[in-house]
Every structure is written in C-alpha cells, then in structure tokens.
Amino acid sequence: MKGCRRNHFKWEAGSFACRQCPENSFTEGETSVECQCYNSYYRADKDEKSMPCTQPPSAPRNVKVVDISDTIVQLSWQLPEQLGGRTDTTYRVECSQCLSEVLYSPKAKGFNTTSVELKGLRASTKYTVKIYAENGVTVLSQLQPKYVQHEFTTESTIAEIQDIKLIDYGDNFIALQWQIKGQTSKGWGEFSSPFFASTRTPYQSEKELEPGPTTVIIVGAIVAVTLCMAIAGIMIFILIKRNRHRDGKNSDIDSPYHHVTVPLFQPSGTIKSYVDPHTYEDPNQAVREFTREIDASHIIIESVIGEFGDVCKGKLRVPSRPEMSVAIKTLKAGATDKNRLDFLTEASIMGQFDDPNVIFLEGVVTKASPIMIVTEYMANGSLDSFLRK
C-alpha cells in the first residue's frame, strides 16, 4: 500500500488515491488507515471513517408549558443551539418527583420530537423535570449530557361526593354506595361509576331500611363509617381515573385532599364542598369566588362596637333592597401583608357558609380604602358574651 502524506488516509490497499482527513480529525504520519479525532470530538462506531468527527449537542432551549391540568402537563422546547455536527439528536426526560405510574408520550427517552406529555401526575404538586439532549457520540464523551431544567405546578382539584346510599345492612355490618366527581379550571368532570364498600365482604343483597328498634343503631353506624368510606373512595377514584385519563378534559380527584371538606348528610343535590382559601396562590382569587363586592358608598358607619375600634355598626343601603343594619370590620391602616392575607382569608371562609346558625357575610369592600368585611348585625353580640350575661 502506497503511503499517504500527513492528514490523509487510505483505509484499504488498492490503486485509489489517499483521501484528506474529514473535518475535526488528523493523522500524525504516513500509511494511516483512518484519521484520529481532535480532543472533545468523537466518531461513533457506526460512523463511516470518511465522516467528520462530531460532538454531543448543547442543552435544549426555551422550555415552556403548552397545556396543564391537575394530572397532565405538555412541555415543548427548541432545538439545542449546537447540534455537534450531527443529525441524530434525541431527548431524555427525568422527573425525580414522578411516581412509577406516570406515563410519558411519546416516551421518556430516545425520542426526537421537541415536546413530551406526562400523564398521571398528582394534583396541586410542584414538579421539576430535566430534559437532556443526546446524540450518537454522547456515550463516548466523558462529560455529563447537557440538559435544561424546568419547574411547574399541577392544578388543584375539588372533590364532590353525592348520592350516598345505604344498600345493605345486618346485625354487625353495613354496605354503602356513592358517586364522585371532580372540578378543575376546565370545569366539572363526569360522575364516576358507583363505588361500593362494606364492613363485611362480600354483601349479597340490596334492601331498604325498615323502621324498627335497630334503626337508631344503624344510623349511628352510618355516621361513624361514612367518613372512612368517603376518604377511601377518593383514593380509589384517583387511581382509576388516572388510568382512564385520555385528553385532560375529565377531572381527577386530588390525592392531597387536605383542603377539601365534604359534608356527608345534606339533602341530595345540595352538597357543597368547602375550599381552604390557603390553597390559592392569590388570596384575591378566593375572595372573588366566595364573596360579593360592595360599593363603599352604600355603607354608612354609625357607631363603634369593637373595643379597639376595628368593628362598627352601620347601615347597608343597596338600591332595590331594603336598608339593613350590618356589622362592619375594617382592616386598620398600616396593616402588614400578613394581616391583609388573614383578613381576606377570613372573608373567603365566611363567604362559603349559608346556615342560620352561622353569621352571614353580606359582602366585602376591597376596591376602596379601608378594606371592609360586612356581615349581618347580631343585636345580642357574640355568643360567648351573651352566655356570660
């Protein structure tokens, strides 16, 4: 074989001419059968000897959330700025907080599209994902593959339980049936298929409660067991709906349901879920959802009630409504951000109750200063003061 001059190579014997080394490679002497890659450049095993030496790609760029719900997120990004001279860039997604049942579409690694969808996430949860860019020479490099990191928080879900029925009972057991639906920012989902639970397994028949001496005992047992059954149902519903979730339009139930309180024994169709205002990132959003804004010009303060001057008696004069006496609580000037948050949270909590035994919230004033909470006026004062008389 005729020798080749420096930076040229000939990979087999023959009469054909030596070829110049491809880009990012060299030879140190004559009779070279292939060219060596410069430092930090590589040639994959499947690459032809005539191909240039290449590098791993740089990190993906500009990750953004395309769509998000309580259990699904879709992410997209731009190509790396440097592809390393190759056309076989693929991506790999890592999510340390994701549970094993989370599904990746198209898949978790080895895909070449610049978007990915994660299904089966937990509601109201903050996630951090790393998106790696890799190619055919990444494994030959001694360096960690380049990646971009992105954080997102899934939406919250409110659970509602309805149609709790006693479908069977005996001397030492009861059996219950109920349905659940969930709500996210996309609206209310459909009702689930009925859930069944019993303190005895299995139960065979369905029959109505019959009046008799044991009725009181049975009702007491329902009160004791229903709460446990409801919580179990929410957890089961989460697992079922995650597997059925296809397009993000049906709502799943939020597994960390500490902010949801489900009343158990209200008339059918009137069950209302209590929502903890602290679950809102913006307390003003909770105020808008659970209270009514009152024009400050409709309020007339008559006298001070509170010992420190922050509660007053007054009149509420709203057009087309009779004048009424009200109690007015004001946020003092110079209040801290925490004071303001606590004040708005109090209003959001009161606005969710509509019961004759609970003081009624007429509305709030947040668009003028000072901020006010306006409630019905209790002529006999607070309950503890009345009981001391």
Q: List pLDDT tens digits, range 133-149.
A: 999 999 999 889 999 99
Residue of 52, 136, 131 whose CA lies nearest to 92: 131
Phi and psi at 76, nearest 5°, equal: -140, 160
What DSSP assignment string belongs to 63-97? EEEEEE-SSEEEEEEEPPS--TT-S--EEEEEETT
Query: What percentage of residues in the chain have a pLDDT greater than 90?
Result: 36
Peptide bond into 52 cis (omega under 30): no
> Is this structure's pTM higher than 0.85?
no
Is 252 or 116 the better-scoring residue by pLDDT?
116
> What is the Rg, in whole angstroms, of the alpha carbon atoms belonging to the chain?
34
CA-nearest of 140, 130, 66 to 98 is 130
Higher confidence at residue 13 or residue 227? 13
Over residues 283-290, the mean pLDDT reads 86
Rounded Cα gap, residues 120 and 73, in angstroms: 9
- Measured between alpha carbons, how far is 113 from 90 in angstroms, rounded to an integer? 8
d(CA 275, CA 4): 80
- Segment 209-222, tens digit of pLDDT: 344 444 445 555 55
Query: Which whole-number Å values give the CA distances from 202 to 17, 177, 196, 301, in the listed order?
Result: 85, 14, 11, 64
Percent of the chain with pLDDT over 70: 75
Pairing, β 174-184 against β 187-188: antiparallel
* DSSP-assigned states of every residue in 184-246: ETTEE-PPPPPEEEESSS----------STTHHHHHHHHHHHHHHHHHHHHHHHHHHHHHH--
pLDDT tens per residue, range 172-190? 778 888 787 776 666 677 7
Could you report the per-residue pLDDT of 23-78, keeping only the tens digit for each? Answer: 999 988 777 888 999 999 999 989 988 899 999 999 999 999 999 988 999 999 99
Would you state the pLDDT for residue 200? Answer: 62
Buried b (16+ CB within 10 A) or exposed e, 231-243: eebbeebbeebbe
Integer distance in angstroms from the first to the last C-alpha of the chain? 116
pLDDT greater than 60 at residue 191: yes
The upper half-sphere exposure of residue 12, i.e. CA atoms within 13 Å in the direction of its Cβ, equals 2
d(CA 155, CA 172): 42
User: From CA 233, how far away is CA 164, in angstroms rounded?
Assistant: 11
Q: Using CA atoms, how far apart are residues 337 and 62, in angstroms rounded to an integer? A: 34
* 228-243 per-position pLDDT tens digit: 566 666 655 555 555 4
Per-chain mean pLDDT for the chain:
79
Q: Do residues 364 and 291 make contact, with C-beta atoms less than 8 angstroms apart? A: yes
**Measured between alpha carbons, how far is 24 from 137 in angstroms, rounded to an integer?**
14
- Measured CA to CA in angstroms, residue 352 lies from 5, 198, 347, 382 at distances of 87, 33, 9, 20
Q: What is the mean pLDDT of residues 153-163?
A: 78
Q: Which helix (H) or strand (E) holds 347?
A: helix 337-350
pLDDT in tens, 326-372: 999 998 888 888 888 889 899 999 888 888 888 899 999 998 888 99
- Say what the pLDDT of residue 215 is: 46
Maximum Cα–Cα distance for the chain, whole Å?
118
pLDDT at 321: 84
What element of type H or E holds 348? helix 337-350
Residue 127 · residue 154 · CB < 8 Å = yes
Residue 306 has pLDDT above 80, yes or no: no
pLDDT score of 75: 97
Confidence of residue 249 (pLDDT cuts 50, 70, 90): very low
